[in-house]
Copies of this chain bind each other. A is one copy, B any other.
Amino acid sequence: MFENNSRTEINELGEFGLIKKLTENIILKHQSSILGVGDDCAVISAEGSFRKVITTDMLVEGVHFDLSYTPLKHLGYKAVVANLSDIFAMNAIPEQITVSVAMSNRFSVEALEELYEGIYLACDKYNIDLIGGDTSNSKQNLILSITAIGVAHENELVYRNGAKENDLICVTGDLGAAYMGLQILEREKRIFIENPNVQPDIQHYDFIIGKQLKPECANKELAALKLAGIKPTSLIDISDGLASELFHLAEQSGVGVIIYEEKLPIDQQTFDTAIELNLNPPTVAFSGGEDYELLFTIKQDDFEKIKEIKDIHVIGYCTPAAEGMFSYTKSGTKLSLEKQGYKAF
């Protein structure tokens, strides 16, 4: 169909290489366009010193979600959370979303209502207005595209590029749970396909399956930081996995990182399930995606203030860029951090 003489496969570049190639020549023309491609959100001007931040995500059935184990209500909820998480990752407050849905006639009106029930549940939880959208047909799959809009004072916005040498590296909540939940759901799906009479064995995995199917935003932790008078120096949400986000943050800030594996917050159920499936728990914490926790850096001076805050964990610190990206295992072995690719939700 395409008559180009040369053909470059998309996976040769990867998602981030592709975005870079497609957007590297952009020169912003409008004064109102304050930040374009490259952070969790774009930034445009608003009232006085306030800024609107905007993010968008498209989710395709069979690629980003599997309806054989994802209830539509959960899908709607999670899709909103994934977008709001990008708004919080600018240290902004989300206020509006638009929702576009394309679906084939295999979906009924009642099925769509379930999807929207989840969307509205997330809107209620996070105080969001659904202000627009679009519904249309698709040939077969369900496709969801959500755009979220938030607001922040320009002094409150936190970008990916502000980390400095010696800053402490922190994460909220716990890591790897959503990924382990996905592994269990996929395992039970395979078992069900092989033998539809076997009852799914998921009661021991409630926490990790909950993190996979119904994640939440780490907005309480952001509020606690603000209350404690701490403004992160850099901030990103963990949608593609900690290692991938560390690379974004370090590259854009021009720093290196040292991470201590023993400091990684891993829930007991995540840990036990990793062992059960012959996976190394720290690797799961580094490369598992979809936790929607936040990764951020703070000045060393803020350490005394932060250590009292619930659900925030200091996992390492920033080094000069030339020193690279490393982790220390519990036994003290120094490992080079890998850009562990995890295909996110």
Contacts and interface: CB of A to CB of B under 8 A. Distances in A.
Interface of A: 1-2, 4, 6-13, 15, 18-19, 21-23, 26, 28-30, 32-33, 35-37, 41-42, 44-48, 52, 54-58, 60, 62-64, 67-68, 72, 95-96, 98, 100-103, 105, 107-114, 116, 127-139, 141, 143, 145, 147, 149, 151, 343
A33 B96 CA distance: 7
Nearest to A61: B139
Given A108-B7, A136-B58, A131 B63 contact: no
A345 B105 CA distance: 18
Contact of A98 (B45, B52, B54, B108): B54
Nearest to A105: B10
A3 to B, nearest CB: 10
Main secondary structure of the interface of A (DSSP, over half): mixed
Nearest to A72: B2
A74 B108 CA distance: 34
A26 B99 CA distance: 13
Given A54-B149, A139-B63, A108 B28 contact: no
23 contacts: A1-B68, A2-B110, A4-B108, A4-B111, A11-B105, A18-B112, A21-B113, A22-B112, A23-B130, A23-B133, A28-B129, A35-B131, A37-B133, A42-B132, A44-B95, A54-B149, A56-B132, A56-B133, A58-B134, A63-B102, A63-B137, A64-B136, A98-B147
Given A30-B95, A102-B60, A147-B98, A129 B36 contact: yes
Contact of A141 (B46, B64, B134, B139): B139
B137 A54 contact: no
A29 B127 contact: yes
Nearest to A63: B137
A68 B1 CA distance: 7
Contacts of A44: 52, 95-96, 131, 149
Q: What 3 A-B pairs are tightest by C-beta distance, nearest first?
A: A42-B131, A145-B145, A42-B132
Contacts of A343: 137
B28 A98 contact: no
A140 B119 CA distance: 26
B9 A109 contact: yes
A136 B60 contact: yes
Contacts of A112: 10, 18, 22
B67 A131 contact: no
Nearest to A344: B136
Contacts of A105: 9-11
A126 to B, nearest CB: 11
A161 B158 CA distance: 40
Nearest to A345: B136
A100 B1 contact: no
A108 B62 CA distance: 21
